[in-house]
Amino acid sequence: MEPDHQGALISRPKALIIGASSGIGAALARRLAAEAVDLALVARRLPELEALCDELAQAHGTRALAYSHDVQDTASVPGLLESIARDLNGLDLFIYAAGVMFPHDPSAYDTENDLLTLRVNTLGAIAWCNPVAQRFARAGQGQIVGLGSIAGDRGRRAIPAYSASKAALETYLEALRNRVSSSGVTVTTIKAGQVDTEMLKHAAAVRGPISAERAADLIWRAIRRRRQVAYIPWRWSVIGWVVRHIPSFIFRRLNL
């Protein structure tokens, strides 16, 4: 809480970001801090999170709290969510930015890596979004944001598990949106194109990526507008439309 110009107390928005230690998640933390949002930042790497919290406090006076968590540990999610909501004194915005992608390799049949991809990108998201959605529906307000990918639009031969994980996440988010829409809750699916993060090193080809900071700006715009689905940046919506309509016998030959 902070006083307005008349001395009344104003409640600052509260946001929780999963996967906030690097990449788009960290960029979003910086963007939200600049908007005077109190933050709970969650990732496996606690030192990186704590350093980011210190940075945000010094740069923006933001209250930012760090929590170590592996999204594969789904059983601990309800308790951790309750602790975070209590520490923040509420929750208005939830962002699932955790993700993993292994290098493009059409010759790889690595079950361990594929299952890990699904656990992090899809199952971890579901484990968090379910209790958050229930909390928001009871409150009659709140916004859930999930980071999908252009790769979820088609089954990519070089990254089948990653494509499947994002397609599943995006279908789940659509279904969740349909479930909670009458409760005053917004569910936003971000379909990101190429962003200049560590994950981009695993791409088969680099095609005009944007910075993580630019991605965070565009995602924040989608959040403020309470968009249902937003391609980041917009040009990927056109590329996505083309990709979705390429005949299968051609698409399977493309190095995508």
Q: Which residues contact 74 (CB under 8 A, 6 or more apart)?
A: 123, 124, 127
9, pLDDT greater than 60: no
The percent of residues above 70 in pLDDT, for the chain, comes to: 94
- Is this structure's pTM higher than 0.85? yes
- Residue 151 CA, distance from chain mean position: 15
Q: Residue 201 — pLDDT band, cuts 50, 70, 90?
A: confident
In 3D space, the residue among 89, 90, 39, 85 whose CA is nearest the CA of residue 60 turns out to be 39
pLDDT (tens digit per residue) in 117-166: 999 999 999 999 999 999 999 999 999 999 999 999 998 888 999 999 99
pLDDT of 204 strictly over 70: no
Query: Can you say whether residue 12 is alpha, beta or left, with left for phi > 0 and alpha for psi between -120 and 50 degrees?
Result: beta
> Domain residues of the chain, as ranges?
2-251
State the chain's mean pLDDT as an integer: 92
Task: Convert the pLDDT of each residue in 31-59 to its tens digit.
Answer: 999 999 999 999 999 999 999 999 999 99
User: Superfamily assignment of 2-251 in CATH?
Assistant: NAD(P)-binding Rossmann-like Domain (3.40.50.720)
CA–CA distance, 73 with 119 (Å, rounded to integer): 10
- State which H helix or E strand residue 85 sits in: helix 77-88
